[in-house]
Structure 1
Amino acid sequence: MTWQLAPEAFGTVVATRLRRDYYDEVASRYWKRPATSEEIDQGLANDGVELLTPPTGQFVVGRFGGEAVACGGLLMLDPERAELTRIYLRPAFRGKKGASLLLELLESEARLLGASRTVLNTRLDLVEARSLYVRHGYHEIPAYCTGLYVEICYGKDLGRSD
């Protein structure tokens, strides 16, 4: 089985299902209980996903063996910086190199939109994600934004090969 990753409209049935799964996992981990369908709906409402389309961003979906199991987005913060967001792989497909491929594609898409740097924010409890970012050359940076769930920020110069 192989990975296929490509830009896809955020509103497709597949992309929406992946975005719901993403919110379900991050909210459930944060609250230490299963998120309700209503809470997931609230998380998706007015979340700015409409900006994840050129020229302001991009949304991508990853398929493994034809099954949609991963997604991620990027948002242009300014002409030089793109923020990575909504990075998600279904748990059963982690450890199969999909996250690395997803990051590579998002970085490539960021370059196509003119970015020379990517940034992201996450929570401290999302240790798997933090480990992934560090393995791919992301370094802790000062906070570039604020928010309830912004606990640590990372950045990467897209000109670097690490």
Structure 2
Amino acid sequence: MTSWHLAPEPFDTADATGLRRDYYDEVASRYWKRPATSAEIDEGLTGDGAELLTPPTGQFVVGRLDGRAAACGGLVMLDPGRAELTRVYLRPAFRGKKGAGLLLELLEAEARRLGASRMVLNTRLDLIEARSLYVRHGYREIPAYCTGPYVEICYGKDLDRLGRAG
């Protein structure tokens, strides 16, 4: 029987860094429609704001399946009541094994712990799997709350204090 273990972890541990690199590689490669180079991944991670993924400004979570680093995600507090979901990623070999839902649940709990009553996120239209995941877990399309070259659609979800979707 396989089991997931998800917990907050510094964004710069070896496993967290590897997951962040894989995340950037996948989203950049899909955007550019070609494999990202190691140098491009390094450049994309330089100054990416990952230092905000620590309390009280945010949190980073790593998920392991049977001890192997498999998933990650983060949140950044945008203001006292609102957190932004970011860097949600499951390595392809671990998809379809219920980890994504567990990851979102823990990130939402961490957001509530930091004082958020609402979670928002932005993504690209071509990231269909991610968009489907968010909708399945109660996120609904909202007006844009930020701008940027990769902000094509935004989602939001109210978080109640008991951990249920609002």
TM-score class, shorter: over 0.9
Describe the superposition over 1:45-92 as per-residue Cα deviations: whole angstroms up to 9, x where unpaired: 000000100000000000001000100000000001000000000011
Q: Which residue of 2 aligns with 1:140?
A: 141
TM-score (norm 1): 0.99
Deviation at 1:34, TM superposition (A): 0.2
Summarize the alignment of residues 95-110 of structure 1 with structure 2, pairs less than 5 Å apart: 95-110=96-111
- Relative to the length of structure 2, the TM-score reads 0.96
Aligned-partner SS, 2:87:
strand
Q: Stretches of 4+ moved more than 3 A in 1?
A: none
> Equivalent residue of 1:114, what SS?
coil
Q: CA deviation at 1:43?
A: 0.7
In 2, Cα distance between equivalents of 1:98 and 1:125: 22
1:54 is paired with a residue whose SS is coil
Does the residue aligned with 2:79 lie in a helix, a strand or coil? coil
SS in 2 for 1:25: helix
Contact 2:121 2:156 (8 Å CA) reproduced: yes
Structure 2: runs of 5+ lacking an equivalent: none
Are 1:161 and 2:165 matched, yes or no? yes
Q: Deviations over 1:101-122 (max 9, x none)?
A: 0000000000000000000000
Structure-2 residue corresponding to 1:91 = 92
Q: Distance in 2 between matches of 1:6 and 1:83?
A: 18
Q: Which moved more, 1:134-143 or 1:151-160?
A: 151-160
Q: How big is the shift at 1:95? A: 0.5
Q: 1: distance between equivalents of 2:165 and 2:80?
A: 21
- Number of the residue aligned with 1:79: 80
> Alpha carbon RMSD of aligned pairs, Å?
0.8
Count of matched residue positions in the alignment of Structure 1 and Structure 2: 162
Counterpart Cα distance in 2 of 1:93 and 1:69: 6
Which position in structure 2 is the counterpart of 1:121? 122
Q: How many percent of aligned residue pairs carry the same amino acid?
A: 81
Whole-Å separation in 1 of the counterparts to 2:13 and 2:73: 14
TM-aligned CA deviation for residue 150 of structure 1: 0.4
Shift in Å, 1:161: 2.8
- Separation of aligned partners in 2, 1:152 and 1:40: 24
